[in-house]
Chains A and B, each alone.
Chain A
Amino acid sequence: MSSAGQAPAIQPASVTAGAPAYTEFHPRWYRRPVSTYWWMGNWPYVKFILRELSSVAVAWAVAVTLFQLAAINGGTSSYANFAQHMRSPWLIVLNAIAFAFLLLHSITWFNLAPKAMAVRLQGKRVPAILISGPQFLAWLAISGFVLWMYVRTAS
């Protein structure tokens, strides 16, 4: 290594002592890789993933509405065509699945609010039902109103 007259090169400790080399960087700890299916086989985790996947149903419902708006724009025959498509069995099945996921979203969303905001009145935590309850009532009222508007328009 070092010839006569030159300073000996600094050797890493590992070379001389067989110990791990010193590094100024933080070592990467070994982490056991988590399986992609980590959420399977545990009901609370499955519920979490199902709740998150409800966002796909949200996008689906919006997509259906966009097609509907496009059909309304297209005129009478275009809307009749849209209505005919909506009667196809596979769309009915998809819509039924999406509707179930939308219900899951609504229920979990309203139940989340009392957990997200801890409202206190006179030092006491307001019961969860008093925060989620009005949201469920608003949901019922709005749904009823939309249904009433539809039936009024249809008849």
Chain B
Amino acid sequence: MSQVKASNEPIFWTLFSAGGVVAALLLPIQLLIFGLAAPLGWLPGVSYSSLAVLMHSPITRIYFFVLCSLPLFHFAHRFRYTLYDGLQIKHLNEVVFAGCYGAAVVGTVVAGWLLWRM
């Protein structure tokens, strides 16, 4: 029984691609509002109570889960290859792989846990 070992690359590439779309569409405005505009006073600050009401909606929570999870898998794939090609640390393949995808999985679990108990 000889079988060609199936590559798992398509799965990672699909996650990379989907994460790239989500990151491109959602992250700039997210960081612009909460990382720059609100702290610098360009936009009014949001009160905790109204934010809590917004976060109560399942749609908002799904939105934030997608916003956190998929871009992390995009990061894992792209950063892994940046280290391979850019810094040429091919001898650390396994460590880099575990670090990048480990971070993505941990981030996804943390996001899910935080949003679940909100």
Residues of A with Cβ closer than 8 Å to B? 34, 36, 39, 49, 52-56, 58-59, 61-66, 68-70, 72-73, 75-76, 79-80, 83, 86-87, 91-92, 95-96, 98-99, 102-103, 105-106, 109-110, 135, 138-139, 142-143, 146-147, 149-151, 153-155
Contact = CB atoms under 8 A, between A and B. Distances in A.
Main secondary structure of the interface of B (DSSP, over half): helix
B82 A98 contact: no
Interface in B30-74: 30-36, 38-40, 43-55, 64, 67-68, 71-72, 74
A106 B34 CA distance: 18
Contact of B28 (A66, A83, A143, A151): A143
Contacts of A69: 64, 68, 111, 114-115, 118
Contacts of A54: 78
B34 A86 contact: yes
B98 interface: no
Contacts of A150: 33, 43, 46
Interface residues of B, number: 56
B92 interface: no
Contacts of B87: 36
Contacts of B49: 76
A154 B46 contact: yes
A138 B25 contact: yes
Given A66-B107, A86-B39, A155 B44 contact: yes
